[in-house]
A and B are shown apart, each in its own frame.
Chain A
């Protein structure tokens, strides 16, 4: 009897041990370790962070679309609500495309050639003028800094906008404009201002060239609609 009892206990204990062992074995079989150098670790870490950001962005988008879908389903009988929703979407897209005038907080950058007293009739005078390349650089910096809408001397910058050298003038959206140039940008004004005024920004080099550069934060920046229509003679929707 005593022996039997011991056998039962040993049996039960052995089952527990067996389960524990199989748990550990499955783990050691699953995880394989690779050793990374600090650089590889850094890369993997940034990759992970980027993926996480993408995931959260996609999740937000998903919720947004789900909400929209819910709204559509909810007001299925009532076509009016769906129409409103579509109209508001069109209005938003028009705003992004530059078809309507917009306003919001942002920065205003005034650019002008250097004072005439600084011109010396030498090759250096070239550096005292605002060129089309300078404007392009500044526009690029603004876009990189998160500007949502940009205009230069009242001309909205859109995807098809050109900044072209035209003698003493610049050509933007088929319009010739002359100095002084006023570039307006809508976005987080503090971020835009700090970004444009950072040491590595192109604006600093313009200041070093002694051009007249003035940047100010503004609570309401008004940007007009784009003045040219985009042609759609050749583009077609791609058939998938």
Chain B
């Protein structure tokens, strides 16, 4: 819920200020966004299972995004689509995390009811 609200506020902020990044960075940005999303899902899961650590979250949030963008850039230069590695790993983890979050939430609701 908190995440969704943040997302909406962020999008509104972005539209209002109309910040633009150069065209050639846009593909790297997409991969970075995926990495950030993965970190957020990880954080939600960790907070639900009560072992959230802010330092791990922050380092993962920025580190993953930078690494993903750097990989995409490197792949562009080498002519090998390395960004696929980032997409597959982060995409897979996204679904894994979501599955766990789902289970934890459902259990919570069940135990309450």
Contacts and interface: CB of A to CB of B under 8 A. Distances in A.
Given A21-B11, A24-B33, A15 B6 contact: yes
B21 to A, nearest CB: 5
A17 B13 contact: no
A116 interface: no
Given A6-B47, A6-B52, A20-B36, A14 B21 contact: no
Nearest to B36: A17
Contacts, number: 116
A12 B13 CA distance: 13
Contacts of A17: 6-7, 10, 33, 36-37, 40
Nearest to A14: B6
Contacts of B13: 15, 18-19, 22
Contacts of A21: 7, 10-11, 14, 33
A17 to B, nearest CB: 5
The B interface is mostly helix, strand or loop, or mixed, namely: helix
B10 A7 contact: no
A26 interface: yes
A159 B104 CA distance: 91
Given A3-B50, A5-B54, A10-B47, A20 B2 contact: no
Given A6-B47, A10-B47, A22 B15 contact: yes
B3 A11 contact: yes
A26 B32 contact: no
20 contacts: A6-B54, A7-B2, A7-B47, A9-B54, A9-B57, A10-B43, A10-B44, A13-B36, A14-B7, A14-B9, A18-B8, A20-B33, A20-B36, A21-B7, A21-B10, A22-B11, A23-B21, A24-B33, A26-B14, A27-B23
Interface of B: 2-15, 18-21, 23, 26, 29-30, 32-33, 36-37, 39-40, 43-44, 46-47, 50, 52, 54, 57-58, 61
